[in-house]
Structure 1
Amino acid sequence: MVRKFSVLIANYNNGKYFKECYESIINQSYTNFEVIIVDDASTDDSVEIIKRIISGDDRFKLFENESNKGCGFTKRKCMEYAEGEICGYLDPDDALYPTALEKSVAEYDNNPEIVATYSRMMMCDENLTADKTFSKTKQIYNDKYFFNCPVQFAHFFTFKKEIYQKTLGINPELTSAVDQDLYLKILDHGNPAFIDEDLYKYRLHSNGISQFKSKKKAKESFARVIFNTMKRRSIKMINRQTVPQTYTNEKDIYDLLQYQTKVAFRLKTKARLFFNF
């Protein structure tokens, strides 16, 4: 079965990095793809750069927000244009390994019940030179108490469009923790497959939204995403602690999940994965 893959790119002022992102896409071993790019009213020359690079390649489609709307709005907009059966976000300053799409799609062919895939990612310097694999990524045990806190998976995350359409979609009001919001909403509907190899190159640089700026805001946004997930899943108690009726502060949310950082919990999770229960 040949599935169409929608590569989704939300851009804001990352035009100078886009060429490597583009080249990583056109060099994919899997060729049945489209690329949806939505520019969030960049103030640099991103649009001109992107237009020049993708010129003549009708697999790439560029759209522009009339004004700056933020990451959540822009990533949600990407999904509105996506036509592929399988979707995955690629940041314009990052890149994919050549087999990223092929190996992701293969997981859906091998296991039709899964709703998503995720892989390991390679941490790179500003020049996209590989440094080391992100060490926290691992196979997860997905139940209603899994919130990816502490982080256990990230890029390269792909998902079925039909599953996304069963959710409320990415929260357009979010400016950070947008990916976490997506992950948890997709996992409400089933299990992911873990691809135990690097498929994604993550560029560390001073302009990266999630790297050196607004860390406090990102942490608070993630707490709200977790709280909303608890409410969406009708969770009233966690580890014999009561979930607040309304959001109070980030500390109260993270305190509820402290038990998931303990050795006993990690051993229990490993046992569940080993015995598949």
Structure 2
Amino acid sequence: MLASVLINNYNYAPYLTECIQSVLDQAYSDIEIIVYDDGSTDNSLEILSKFKNIKVISNSNYGKGHCLNQMNAVYQAFKESTGEVVFLLDSDDYFKKEKVEKVINLFKEHPNIDVIQHPLEEVDVNGISKGNIVPVLKNIQDYKNYIYQTESLFHLFSTTSALVFKRSYLENVLPLEEDKFSYIAVDTRLMQLSALSASIFTIFEPLTYYRKHGENDSGKLGDISQHRMYTKELYSFFNRSAVKNGHSSISYSYDKYLENTYFYHNLSTEKCVQFIMKNPEKEYFIWGAGEAGQSVYHALKNSGLNLQGFIDSDERKQNCLVMDKEVLSPSSIYGENNICILVSPFHSYETIATILKNQNYIENEHFISPYMED
């Protein structure tokens, strides 16, 4: 079974060699590699020319913004591919050695599957693991039914470099329609369409390294106003796709969104109450003002606990109001003995715990994970 790996690249020369080599070094050998370069202005083409056993498509920049540019790159590479199974890969990420073999075996074992996805292991700019597995994915069997039952579109789908499709499925949905949804990238579009019309299988094992280097386009969603725009477009895109496929639309509400997050359903209210009531005179904060922190606050807001606000290392959130609570910087609370913290980022708990311990905060006395124990 031939596997096609479609790599899209724009000015990621520093990462290209490791990306391509990770595919060449796969345990599975029946692979073709197609790289689409979207008019890079760095030395990407020079690096690509050193690989003789890959196909390179080089065009001038598509010029329509990140999402549409990437959509075009995937489609142009797909047209040149011939594999029965198609892997997507961003050029700043790279595969683990057993990935292709494991995915191909699953397709062979389960011929009715159309799409396979998995989480990723986060690494820094130098490829050193950050100890985080992203994104947090719910264990869903029937994605379409789940979406219509909960009207939730979050924690369902992984990102580009963790998506694999049967060719027969992509032939039915590509090319994707170009539109004004500037926040909805090719991975989200393909997976939402898959939820409506295909069979999705999730492997809960990280098979790709996701490189976080500060220039990732997804990083802009850390901004609160940008995330609101993203959410609006997320639901608009789904509803447009649903209606076109003969399904009904769904509605978004902030409360319903929070009550269907991974974090909300794994929170231990009893654990949080016990922690806070040990020293009710202290000031209690939630570390993390994003989705996790908001979910924790929403779950606890009617429990009678006096939560002062949020702490977040993202400067874009600091000094803002989230759920009518102020967001402080971590440095503003260091050295304060009257502070206790609920650490909401599920996948970053150990990293944050280390930071707090280095500031002489004691686990279970000054901070805890608010979630149920495994």
In structure 1, the residue matched to 2:205 is 197
Conserved in 1, the CA contact under 8 Å of 2:258 and 2:264?
no
Q: 1:230 aligns with which of 239, 242, 254?
A: 239
In structure 2, the residue matched to 1:24 is 22
Deviation at 1:38, TM superposition (A): 0.7
Q: Per the alignment, in what secondary structure is the counterpart of residue 203 of structure 2?
A: strand
**In structure 2, do the counterparts of structure 1 residues 5 and 255 end up closer, same or farther at CA, with 3 Å as the change threshold?**
farther
Conserved in 2, the CA contact under 8 Å of 1:136 and 1:153?
no
In structure 2, the residue matched to 1:143 is 144
In structure 2, the residue matched to 1:270 is none
Q: Per the alignment, in what secondary structure is the counterpart of residue 208 of structure 2?
A: strand
AA in 2 matched with 1:191: S
Whole-angstrom distance in 1 between the partners of 2:235 and 2:242: 10
Deviation at 1:118, TM superposition (A): 1.1
Instruction: Indicate whether 1:94 and 2:93 are aligned.
Output: yes
Q: Per the alignment, in what secondary structure is the counterpart of residue 193 of structure 1?
A: strand
Conserved in 2, the CA contact under 8 Å of 1:122 and 1:130?
yes
TM-score computed with the length of structure 1 as normaliser = 0.78
Whole-angstrom distance in 2 between the partners of 1:253 and 1:161: 36
In structure 1, the residue matched to 2:82 is 83
**In structure 2, do the counterparts of structure 1 residues 27 and 219 end up closer, same or farther at CA, with 3 Å as the change threshold?**
farther
Q: Per the alignment, in what secondary structure is the counterpart of residue 217 of structure 2?
A: coil
Whole-angstrom distance in 2 between the partners of 1:31 and 1:39: 24
The 5 Å alignment of 1:114-193 reads 114-132=113-131, 133-134=133-134, 136-141=136-141, 142-143=143-144, 146=147, 149-155=153-159, 156-173=162-179, 176-178=183-185, 179-193=187-201
Whole-angstrom distance in 1 between the partners of 2:89 and 2:174: 21
Instruction: Indicate whether 1:62 and 2:56 are aligned.
Output: yes
Deviations 1:133-156 (A, max 9, x none): 226124223115538732333141
Deviation at 1:204, TM superposition (A): 0.5
The 5 Å alignment of 1:239-258 reads 243=251, 257=257
**In structure 2, do the counterparts of structure 1 residues 71 and 154 end up closer, same or farther at CA, with 3 Å as the change threshold?**
same
AA in 1 matched with 2:241: R
Whole-angstrom distance in 1 between the partners of 2:175 and 2:194: 9
AA in 2 matched with 1:159: F
> What fraction of aligned residue pairs are identical, expressed as a percent?
23
Q: Which runs of 5+ in 1 are unaligned?
A: 244-251, 267-277
Conserved in 2, the CA contact under 8 Å of 1:144 and 1:188?
no
Q: Which runs of 5+ in 2 are unaligned?
A: 64-68, 267-374
Whole-angstrom distance in 1 between the partners of 2:198 and 2:165: 11
TM-score computed with the length of structure 2 as normaliser = 0.59
Aligned residue pair count: 249
Whole-angstrom distance in 2 between the partners of 1:137 and 1:149: 11
**In structure 2, do the counterparts of structure 1 residues 20 and 163 end up closer, same or farther at CA, with 3 Å as the change threshold?**
same
> Highest relative contact order (Cα 8 Å, sep 6+), 1 or 2?
1
Aligned CA-pair RMSD: 2.9
**In structure 2, do the counterparts of structure 1 residues 209 and 264 end up closer, same or farther at CA, with 3 Å as the change threshold?**
closer
